[in-house]
Each structure stands twice: as C-alpha cells, then as structure tokens.
Chains A and B, each alone.
Chain A
Amino acid sequence: MGIGDKDASFQFPCTIHVLCLASPQDPTIQASVSMYKKIIDIYGHGGEVCIPESTLSLDSTQKMFCQFFEEHCSPFHGVLECGHLECNIHIFPKPQVYSKSHDFEDVELEVCHNIKIVGFLDTSDVASPPFISRHLVFPLPPQTANTDAGASDEAIGDTGKIPSFTVLLHGSLKVENMVAICQVGSEWYGMLYSWADPHKKKSNLMLSIFEPGVKSLPWLGKFTHLAPHQIFTASPYGEDDNKTPFPVKITEKRSYSLNHVGWIKPAGLQADIQKVLRHARKLPEKMPHFYKELNRVRKAALSYGFTELLDALSAMLDRECRLLPGSAHPDAALQLSHAANALRTEMARDITQTITPMSTKYSSIINEAR
C-alpha cells in the first residue's frame, strides 16, 4: 500500500505502535522512523515509534519493551466509593486522557482514581446515553491494590471468599435494572451498570464514561443538579413508584413539535389552504375551526409579507360561497362572505386584530354552548 493513500486505512479506529529492533546508530533508522510516523499520522488515532536506547542489545530491547508496557499495558487501579462503602478496583482498559479542543475551551482531563458513586437511576431513565469509552470494573481484595500486583494471582483462590462491595453492587444493579451515576473527574461523570456478553452467560460491572461537562446528557439536566429525591416535597417518583422525573423537558420546543408554518414548497401552502377549505365546507358547524385556521394562515402570510395570499384566499372564499348547495345552512353563506370581505380590509393586515365570526343567531348559540 502506498503512504498517503486514504483507501489503505483500516475501517475501524486503531492506534499503531512501532517498536524498532534496530540500533539507533543505524544510518537508515531515521528514514524508517519518519516513515512510520507518517503512517501513524495517516491513521489519525495516535501511536508512537520506539527505538532502543544506546546500542541494540538484550538489555536495551528489554528496557524499551518494559517502558512500553509500563505506559500502555499497566493496569489502572482505583477505589470505587459509595459513601462509606468502598472497594479496590481494577479498570480495564485503562481510561485515556481526554484531550479535546472545543468551541471556546480546550479540555484536558484525566480519570480520577477514586470513582465516586453519587446516586442511582433506573436504566430506562438514563435512556442509552452516549459514552466516550467503556471499561470493565474488576474488584480487588482490600490490600493488594497498593502492594505487589504479581502476588495477587496466586491469592485469587482465597479472595473469592472476601466480601466485595463491587460484587454486591453488580448484583443489585442487575436485579433492579438500575445504573449508578458516578463522578470520574472534575465535572466529569459516568455510569456503572451490569453488562452481559452477547451470549448472556457472564455478566460484569461496566463503567461507561460520558463526555466531560455537567450538561453532557441534556435529558438528565445538569449533573450538579441531581438531588436526592427525599428533599422534594412530593416524591418525584410518585407515591407508588409510578412516575419518573426524567427526561428533563427542554424549555424551547423544536420546530417539529411547534406546528411550524412553512411554505417553501407549494405542498406546504396547499395543505394549509386545504385545511381552511375543509372547515369552510362544513360551516357553520366547524365555525371555530374555520376561523382558527384562517387566522393562522393570515398570520403566517403577514410574517412572510405574503399579502397577495390574503386576496387570493378572499377570492377563494367568495367562490365557495357561490358554490354552496341550496340545502346549505343560511349561516354558511353569511360567514363565508363575511370572512372573504374581512380579508380584503386593512384590518386583515393588522396583526393585533383577529378575524372573528359574524354575529348571527346561529353563532350566538354556538358561543353560548361553548
């Protein structure tokens, strides 16, 4: 494959590390190193080139590999805390440093070694939140986290019988179908939950780390504003645990839930006109709907400065009036010509005004009924 050839890249994210078994004095090494660096850049997910120090020997090679393992393969040990309950843990894979340039701020954060649970949520309430990384959380026996890790393997047989908060937490999260929200750094949060492999045979405690920030999951509100539910006068989960305070509703509705009027495509305009017409043909029964739709269309026309439409609508209502069958209610004709005339007046161009039904015997009955 040629360098710089985009098609040569892998179809999944990967980091490339190159450990050279060559003497740093080798005259060709510089050329090779720069080529390797270029490859790493093309893949774009990071990586590095290592060369043995001084001369190529057993010692220097060993040292190079040891350093590499130290940096990339050393386990991440920490403490899982939930109030006074705690447990030494091993997090795999090792959480990476978060370093990203955002609008208006650069963020560089490291996952803290104390993973602190701040409370719990129902799985349905967190609703599949996006995470930046996932990690398995393994419990460790109380003392080994600080001592020599090498000895722990042999001791495993005995540690199985030491009660571990992590195992309890996993069991309860699984049974109750809940997640634990935890703080993993400064203004940085994640969640712990029971995760089973696709065959559902073996389950484990998983840590998902969210995008840093207190507002990274809008439907949970701000993380810093998550309160114990006891401090509310009425329980947000209801007396019988039949409600939920989530998701947190957005304050400004989006256009798709606003009945937004848009006439960029003729179909949009035609559909709105059709609505007015449908109600017009069922006058006087549909009188309130007719005037509501008429004013809605009128307001949109005024917003877009589309005054020609008001005249066209007026002509259309006049025609509807002429086409009324003989069996029609006399009020239908009255209301249609009233609305058609109103659309032609100056008042129709004044947004503070509303076209209201003509007062007839029938309309007063309707009004009283309402």
Chain B
Amino acid sequence: MAYPVSHKTVFVLDHGPAMMASSKENIDFDVFNKSRGPGIIPLAPVTKSLWTCNAEAAVEYCRIVYDLFPDDKLVQFVASDTSATSLNSWQHKQQNVQKLLDCLVVLGPPGHKTDPSDCSIVHGLTHAVEVLCELTEKQQDVRLALEETETTLQNKGRIICMTSLKSDRHVQSLQEAVQEAIIQHNQLSANADSFMPLNYCELVFVHVRPVGRKSDSISSPKKSVSPLLSVEVHVTDSGRSVATKVVGLAQRHYELFSTTVTGIPMKEEQNSGSSANYDVELLHSRDVHLEALNSGNTEGLLIQSKEGLPSQSLTLKWCTPKSNIMELQNCVGAYRVTPVDVNSRPSACLTNFLLSGRAVMLEQPRKGGTRLISHMLASHGGEILIHILSSTRSVLEDPPSISEGCGGRITDYRIHDFGEFMKENRLAPWTDQNIACDPLPLQRSENHLERMTRVWPIAIGDTMIFNMLSHLDPLPSLIVKDKLDDDEVLECKKAIYHVVGMESRNEPLPVPNAGLRTKGSKREEQYRQMWTELETLIKVHVSNSPQHQKVLDCFTDCHKTDGGNTSTIKQRDEAIMELETDLAVKELDTYQKLTEREKFDFNKGNSLSQPQSPPVKKIKTESFMFKPVPSSSSPQSLHTMWTNRLKAVHAMRHVEFAGRQESNDNTAELYPKLNETKSEVPL
C-alpha cells in the first residue's frame, strides 16, 4: 500500500516586495502591425515581475495536475510576506484553477510599501507544515477504513517553495526551520481529530533569479535531512524558464510522460482553403507508454519535447478518423491527457475535435513501413483520454465458434425477444445526488432483472404463451411489474377473458412452425399447456402486490384446474358479466367527462358503427373472411365493418327522393295521376 507524497502539495509563494522586481524578460505584445503600413512604431515591450512569472508557473502546475488527476492529487497555495495566507483549502470544491485565479486576484501582487525586513518566507514554510498536518477528505476516509485493520495511515506531503535564495546558509536555515516546524506541529496534532502528524515531507526550493543575473551555484539534488524531511534546490531564470522548470517538476512528481501527436491536418487561420499539418504535445501518466519504455523498443519514436519541456516525447502519428470508430476496441488502459500548451491554436483544434465526440487512432511509425495502431484519443463526458490498444498476440486467437458448442445447434432461440428484453433492461446512471435511491440503484436493477426473468423460455419451441403474445397482450408485460394500477388489472383480466373466449369458440392456437418440443398436438392438449404456462406466469408474480392477486383470482375463476364442471362455467360467465359491467361503467364515466362537442362526436361515431363493437383481438383471425357475415349474432368481419361505414357515410350525403318522403310505405308511386287523368281528358 502506498501513501504518495504527491497526494498533498503546498506551493509557498514568496509574496515579499522583492518579488515585484522585473523578470528582465521583454515581451513584445504589439506585433500585429505589419499590415498597417510603415508609419507605426510598435509600443515598448512589457516585462513581467518575478511574482507574475512565479504565479503563472504555479497555476500551470495545478492546471496539469487537476486535468490529469481530478480526484486524489491536491494542491494548496500559501502566500508568504509579513505573515502566511492560505489561498485555498484541501476541500475538493476548492481544488480547481478558477478558484486559485480568483484567490490570486484578491491577494494581489506584493505591496511596494511593505517593509522588506518584516517579510520572510519562513512564515509561509511553517504554515505549509501546518496545513500538511491537516487531513484531507480522502485521508479521513482512509483513516476510518484502516482503523478496522489496525494499520495506520501515513501522512506525507510536498512543499514547493518559490523564492529567491541568498546562499547555501540561507537554504540551511530554512530547512532547519521546516524541520523544527514539523517536530512542533507533529506534537500538536498527535491527538487532534482533523490533524495528523507528518510522517514525511519533501521540500523543493525553486530559486528564481531575473533573466541574465549571474548564477550563484546553490542548486542541489535531493538529499535527506532527517527521516522526516528531504530537501532539494532548483535554480532557474525567471520569465518563461520558470514555468518550464515547474512543469518539469510536475512531470517528475506525478510520473508524467509526453506524447507528440504528429501530422494533424488543420485549416490555416489566414487562408481557410489550404491546410497544413501540425503537431500537438500532450502530457499524461507515464503508464501510457510503459510497455514501450520498459521494453526499450522506442527506436525512432522518441524526440526532444517540441514545447521545450526538459524531457523527451514519444511521437504518434494521427490517423484520419474512420466512421466505424464506435466499435469496441481492444483497449487495455485509458488515461487522462492535457495539452502542454493549452492556449495554442493546434491544441484547441485537437481538443475541440475530440470533445465533439470523435475519436482518433494513433499510429506508431515503424521501421519498414508496417503500420501499428497503438493508441486512440477519445473524449468521454467532457474529458479527453488516451486509450492504449492491445497490439500483442493473445491466446484468444482462432477460437471455435459458439455454434460449435453446447446449445449451438438450436435454431429457434428467441433472439429478437431477448433483444427487446435487453432494451427493457438497459441501465441509466442515477446522477442526482440530492434524491436518495433506496435500495441502491444497482440493487434495483438486479431486482428488476429477477422479476423480468421468473418465466422466460429461451427457445420458441419451449413455449406456447410467448408465441401468442398478440392474444395475451398486455398481460405478459404488465404482470412482471412490481405494482399494478386498477386499469392495468382490468387489462390483464380482459386478456384472460379473451383466451377464455377463444377456447369456448374452439379456435386453434398459433403453434410455432418449428414444432413444439412438448407432447400433444391436439387442440385440447395445446389449450391445457397454454393454461399451465399462463398460470405459472401469473403465479410467480402473485406476491408482487395485492393487485397481482386480483389477476390470479380472475384467472382461477375462469380456469379451474379440476375440470370444466357446470359451477365453474357459471362462475366464469358471472365474472365475464362483471367485467362487462365494469367496462360499461367506465365508458359511462368517460362519457360524462366529455364536453358537449366531444359527446356529439362520440354519439355520431357510435351511430356509424354497430352498437356491439368487435373485440380487437379477433381481427387477426377473421380478417381472411371476405364474405359478409350476417351481423347481430356473430361478430362482424372487417368487410361488414367497412361496408357499414361506407353506407353510413353515403347516407349522410344522400338527399331523399321527394316522392318517397311523401309516400306511406317507403315506396314512391310513379305517375300517381296517370289513371285519373286518363278518364278526364276531353276528347
């Protein structure tokens, strides 16, 4: 078990007036005047102060750490002048670059008016020791967890102090102060709740001098001062060099490695028609290239960092993305990345491309021209990761097909139905932290699967009821729910009555073509099997809720297993009557809720069709009959329904013949006066 020093880092920033000295590095900021004619004299370059350069470098360190390790790598800023000020805390919500920048604004640059003799970096260093003794959220959790195992948490941390050192003796006195502070604070925090003695501290001095100043050789490699403390001193020029130095430290502290993605095609800013190839350098955990680095197989791949980092970078070539990138890749690792120069245009183009959801394959250029796709860049939920793709051979090559094994020769699996089942059982993240989900969401998923699979025949030939879903719907999908409302119970009952009706009319059941693996092809046998299956299905869910019991009650009323004696039939008829009354009452309820206009439409609709509307389920079996069936007693065919409808429509457009309207028996008499006039016509 490792207790990394890198879990907690304190940046001690010298905030004394000496830091307001110029870095002596000129920056031309007025550079875009060439197109504006010769008359313009560029403005004088600006210079940053030592403080500005240090703050930029420290923020850059944090940017990289927070991008790559958002969970367990924490950084705290401490400014030191006449006293020490913590800018942020170990709390997770204070661990981001924006928070640090906001705090730096409030702090402001070092004051000119402060008396230099009152200022000391020792304030910051001792305060840093104190904050290292504070437990982080993670450490508190771990300490709790470890109490059970009787091992103790090791509290370690690192201090990076950015200041200007005068001499070796100065370094000596500072490290003594830190050593002293550790001993003191360890005593103080021995029995405190949210504090813990420091087991080990790594003190890193970064001595910053203005550009061009002669070097005092006080740089020293890491050496151990005591079991509690080690010290190292780095010397760097101010300006850009200090950031390079500090990022180099970050690479060492977090074991980072660099990858240069080469040959990224990008449209030119000025001339959007043409495109050029760019390189972008990324930082990430060293583990990304562990295999290549350990095997030493990096010939021709390593270059010196193009962004000026004090390290090498491994080159990988951009492969133009293909459309089938959403296939599962053989990915053996994924690590967060961040661009070395986050502000540059090529970096922004690459990151935006990836954040838009596309993935890019990266290829290792090899001697001999063979192509080896070794990595993939892709974003997930707003962060970019480099995926390591497996390129070595494996023992999984050339396996037998699944169809050659057990169960492989069966051809009537319910593949499609199980596909629907899988869609029904898709998972979704429970992200709302405010609403407690009890039991745990995953437990609920398991419970759901358990309910859904109580009766689930896997082959078509194994089941009767799942081959006649059009007759049973929606019962099979409703009965698996953990609760049913009254309407759903009614729907289930209807489905049961429907099959009861089928049986009483002696309709054939849709037997699967594949041939049932079970015995019995007679119709009664099939019905018996269907009833058994349906009973099993309803019974396994009966304890889900009291409403489920109602469905089972209905089932037992309709289908007594002890045979069809008269009392059952009577009960069944009574039950059906009851259901029909239920339906009628419901219909009446809905009718009364309608507006006048809706009522009118409803009535009109009713008058168009026959009063006894046909059960929907039967359409399937009877639609083949085209000859009109005498209505009233037997159910209508689609043909009669259609002709009735046409008749009704025509009837509305029809203007009755006046003669018939006046007549008595619906027959108009033609030429009624013909006989009369004949006799009266004068000759």
Contacts and interface: CB of A to CB of B under 8 A. Distances in A.
A19 interface: no
B238 to A, nearest CB: 12
Q: Which of B44, B394, B396, B427 has the most chain A CB atoms inside 10 A of its CB? A: B427
Contact of A129 (B331, B382, B400, B448): B331
B407 A256 contact: no
Given A122-B426, A225-B429, A267-B344, A105 B332 contact: no
B445 A248 contact: no
A363 interface: no
Q: Which of B101, B339, B395, B406 has the most chain A CB atoms inside 10 A of its CB? A: B406
A229 B452 contact: no
B405 A257 contact: no
Nearest to A6: B296
Given A82-B449, A236-B428, A254-B382, A161 B55 contact: no
A13 B425 contact: no
A224 B388 CA distance: 26
Interface string B308-346: 000000000000000000111111111010110111100
Given A119-B449, A304-B55, A257 B406 contact: no
A88 to B, nearest CB: 9
Contact of B342 (A222, A241, A262, A266): A262
A130 B333 contact: yes
A319 B33 CA distance: 12
A258 B63 CA distance: 11
B271 to A, nearest CB: 17
A117 to B, nearest CB: 7
A180 B431 CA distance: 21
A260 to B, nearest CB: 6
A164 B46 contact: no
Contact of B407 (A84, A163, A223, A230): A163
Given A128-B378, A323-B40, A264 B60 contact: yes
A305 B108 contact: yes
Contact of A172 (B7, B415, B446): B415
Nearest to B41: A319
A118 B105 contact: no
A249 B31 CA distance: 40
Interface stretch (A28-36, A55-63, A282-290, A309-317): A309-317
Contacts of B240: 264-265
Given A166-B407, A171-B413, A257-B355, A118 B442 contact: yes
Contact of A266 (B4, B29, B66, B102): B29
A302 B105 contact: yes
Interface stretch (A270-278, A326-334, A336-344): A270-278
B442 A223 contact: yes
Contact of A202 (B60, B400, B449): B400
A256 B422 contact: no
B96 A252 contact: yes
A249 B72 contact: no
B371 to A, nearest CB: 15
Interface residues of B, number: 135
B516 interface: no
Contact of A256 (B32, B109, B351): B351
A23 interface: no
A7 interface: yes
A253 to B, nearest CB: 6
Interface string A134-158: 1010111100000000000000100
Interface string A90-103: 00010000000111
Contact of B445 (A118, A245, A312): A118
Given A156-B406, A226-B441, A172 B422 contact: yes
Nearest to A227: B441
Given A120-B426, A254-B382, A202 B109 contact: no
Contacts of A127: 326, 378, 380
A225 B437 CA distance: 9
Interface stretch (B172-180, B456-464, B493-501, B544-552): B456-464
A309 to B, nearest CB: 6
Given A118-B427, A176-B419, A128 B405 contact: no
A320 B306 CA distance: 36
Contacts of B342: 255-256, 260, 262
A145 B339 CA distance: 52
A216 B110 CA distance: 44
B347 A256 contact: yes
A267 B423 CA distance: 51
A194 to B, nearest CB: 8
Given A103-B3, A130-B388, A201 B406 contact: no
Contact of A226 (B407, B408, B445): B445
Given A118-B442, A127-B378, A128-B387, A225 B431 contact: yes
A209 B49 CA distance: 53
Contact of A167 (B396, B408, B425): B408
Interface string B54-83: 011101100100110010100000000000
A270 B423 CA distance: 53
B429 A262 contact: no
Contact of B105 (A180, A230, A351): A351
A245 B429 contact: yes
Contact of A299 (B29, B105, B419): B105
B63 A260 contact: yes
B52 interface: yes
A304 B60 contact: no
B275 to A, nearest CB: 20
A170 B400 CA distance: 14
Contact of B423 (A102, A120, A141): A120
Nearest to A305: B109
A11 B426 contact: no
Q: Which of B46, B110, B384 has the most chain A CB atoms inside 10 A of its CB? A: B46
A270 B429 contact: no
Contacts of B408: 160, 164, 167
A65 interface: no
B97 interface: yes
A126 B430 CA distance: 16
B681 interface: no
A110 to B, nearest CB: 19
Nearest to A277: B32
B4 A252 contact: no
Contacts of B441: 224-227, 231
Contacts of B454: 83-84
B63 A227 contact: no
B646 to A, nearest CB: 35
A226 B427 contact: yes
A273 B27 CA distance: 12
Nearest to A278: B32
Given A229-B426, A266-B28, A106 B1 contact: yes
12 contacts: A11-B297, A12-B392, A119-B449, A126-B328, A171-B415, A172-B422, A203-B402, A205-B402, A220-B429, A224-B441, A225-B431, A249-B382
Interface of A: 6-7, 9-13, 82-85, 93, 101-106, 116-124, 126-132, 134, 136, 138-141, 156, 159-173, 175-176, 178-181, 193, 195, 197, 201-206, 218-232, 236-237, 241, 245-250, 252-258, 260-271, 273-274, 277, 299-300, 302-309, 312, 315-316, 319, 323, 351
Interface of B: 1-4, 7, 27-32, 36, 40, 43-44, 46-49, 51-52, 55-57, 59-60, 63, 66-67, 70, 72, 96-98, 101-102, 104-106, 108-110, 138, 142, 145, 153, 240, 243, 291, 295-297, 326-334, 336, 338-339, 341-344, 347-348, 351, 355, 359, 376, 378, 380-384, 387-388, 392-403, 405-410, 413-416, 418-419, 421-431, 437, 440-442, 444-446, 448-454, 456, 458-459, 462
Given A9-B295, A248-B429, 7 more contacts: A13-B392, A93-B396, A116-B446, A220-B429, A222-B429, A305-B104, A315-B43
Report the 6 A-B pairs with minimum CB-CB distance, sorted nearest first: A164-B407, A305-B109, A83-B453, A227-B441, A247-B381, A202-B401
